[in-house]
Amino acid sequence: TQLLEQSPQFLSIQEGENLTVYCNSSSVFSSLQWYRQEPGEGPVLLVTVVTGGEVKKLKRLTFQFGDARKDSSLHITAAQPGDTGLYLCAGANDYKLSFGAGTTVTVRA
């Protein structure tokens, strides 16, 4: 059983569309990190959010940390084929990361 629930599990959209990935938990985390992973490679860190209610923008990506520090969302505007990958959220507590199962995003050209 995953400590963090990610939804949806799969997402396939056309280039130029927007998408949102959700990450929810009943646990409170010290911080929450989002990663993107490509097949056979390690996850690449996209962002770390620490403060409840925090919003961070990274070009076309917007990350939000819930007020209670239990949930987060990732929004991509005008998705591009290069955004294709497995998106993982991970909550940090007790010197470890607890990962969600991931959302596989496919952006079609």
Interacting residues with another protein (CB under 8 A): 2, 30-31, 33, 35, 40-45, 48, 50, 88, 90, 92, 94-102
One-letter amino acid at 91 equals G
Select 34 or 107, whichever has its Cβ closest to another protein. Answer: 34
The SS3 of residue 22 is: strand
Tell me whether residue 66 or residue 102 sits nearer to another protein (CB atom): 102
CB 34 within 8 A of CB 74: yes
From the list 107, 105, 103, 85, the residue with the least C-alpha distance to 24 is 103
Q: How far is the CB of 96 from another protein (least distance, A)?
A: 5
Minimum separation from the CB atom of position 65 to another protein (A): 12
State in Å, rounded, how far the first CA of the chain is from the last one. Answer: 35
Could you count the other beta carbons within 10 Å of the beta carbon of residue 23? 27
CB of 14 to another protein, least distance (A): 27
Of the pair 26, 94, the CB lying nearest another protein is at 94
